[in-house]
Amino acid sequence: MSGTFDRDGAFSIELEGGEEGGPHKLLTLDGRLYVFSPGKICRVRTADDIDPDRTALETRHAYQELYSAGYNNSFVARSVIQAKQILDGVVLKPGLTKIAVLDAIWEATQFLLQCENSHYRIYNDVMNLIKQVDDVVENSKQRAAIPSLPQVEDLDDRVASFLGGAKRFLEKAHFLLAVFYDAPQQGSNFKAYRDWMSANRSNSTKVVELLRGDREWIRFLAESRNALGVNHSRANFVMEVQNFALQPGNKILPPSWRYDLSERGGPTQQYWSDIVTDMHTHLSNMLTFLEELYILCVLDNLDEQLPFKFGIGRLPSDQVSDECPIVYVARASRRNQQA
């Protein structure tokens, strides 16, 4: 059978689950081929990718599912898919390559998806357990003691995954400043990025304003990851995590956290707040930050020597597709026309 296989010939791959209600989108990112479906993202591996030295000519092509979220997920649609469509519709200044821009956005997107997965797993477990927790309390109100409450498994690890992914996301998102403006790479020193942009690219006012306006929650996420007990927590620099817990009056507190980041000039929250709700807010902030950052950087780096004027506009809400909910599109017009 191996003799009938021609690894150098044209080939097709049928993804399990068919088209899932929509067409597949093929994107080359970080030098690899990815397939974006409505409900998942897969990486395609050719035989030469698997066996570059061609030591086993019967090696087949393959694909690997990476994420169970596809382009009908807003985190996917508004990051890499939307960015690809915008970049396809504009011309950047000479010296800027769209491939480098899209690769940087894809790197950030992967950590954003890690955060979304951590959030979803906690949320899903909370929803599945909440009735059990309620029942334990209700069924014990005539007794002297309430037994152990059901708990979200691996809560600390999932919170660590979320905050770790958030910090790495922010590092990759800020790397766009190196791609667009040749800013020195600063890792997780986000203040250094802001200071460099203010000193060296002060004309990029909207980008600088975005960095300044979002600095507090960005710093909070970076510091929170470091303040976890498994990392570098200490007195006045700690992020505490608590599972389902009983409160006065037999009230139930869902998985929650509180923090004291005052040692490094950060905020303090003495009360416990809902992890699921707070993570949802942070996810929204991260997605919006990435989206606004790459759009503003693109607008700031358009080729002005062409007879066409490019712009990026927001779609009316009734034109945002459920299938692929991108929000912004690129537009072009002649310079003597209204953009």
> How is 2-42 classified by DSSP, letter by letter?
GGG--TTS------TTTTTTS--EEEEETTEEEEE-SS-EE
Whole-number Å distance between alpha carbons of 329 and 338: 16
pTM: 0.90
pLDDT at 63: 75
In a domain, 225, yes or no: no
pLDDT value at residue 153? 96
Q: How many domains does the chain have?
A: 2
Distance CA 122, CA 244 (A): 12
Residue with tokens 């597709």: 321
Looking at the fold, whether 118 and 203 belong to one and the same domain comes out as yes
Q: Which tokens is 193 given?
A: 């990025």
Evaluate the CA torsion angle 268, 273, 275, 276 in order and state its sign: negative
Same domain? 156 vs 297: yes
Residues 31, 169, single domain; the answer is no
Residues 51 and 113 in one domain: no
- Let me know whether 114 and 197 are in one domain: yes
200 and 97, same structural domain? Answer: yes
Give the span between the Cα atoms of 253 and 242, in whole angstroms.
9
Q: Counting every residue, how long is the chain?
A: 339
Q: What is the pLDDT of residue 53?
A: 63
Q: How far is Cα 290 from Cα 171, in angstroms, rounded to an integer?
A: 11
pLDDT number for residue 10: 63
Q: Which of 51, 67, 83 is the last residue of a domain?
A: 67
Closest CA to 114 of 147, 145, 159, 60: 159
Q: Indicate whether 33 and 167 sit together in one domain.
A: no
Asked whether residue 302 is assigned to any structural domain, the reply reads yes
60 and 154 belong to one structural domain: no
Tokens of 51: 């066996």
Shared domain for 109 and 204, answered yes or no, is yes
The domain in which residue 285 lies consists of 75-219+276-334
Q: In what helix (H) or strand (E) does residue 158 lie, and over which residues does it extend?
A: helix 155-181
Same domain, 169 and 42: no
Same domain, 85 and 39: no
Cα–Cα distance between 213 and 97 in angstroms, integer?
28
User: pLDDT (tens digit, 0 to 9) for every residue of the chain, 339 residues total?
Assistant: 445 777 766 666 666 654 455 688 999 999 999 999 999 999 987 766 766 767 766 657 677 899 999 999 999 999 999 999 999 999 999 999 999 999 999 999 999 999 999 999 999 999 999 999 999 999 998 898 999 999 999 999 999 999 999 999 999 999 999 999 999 999 999 999 999 999 999 999 999 999 999 999 999 999 998 899 876 679 999 999 999 999 999 999 999 999 999 998 889 999 999 999 999 999 999 999 999 999 999 999 999 888 888 999 999 999 999 999 999 999 988 766 554
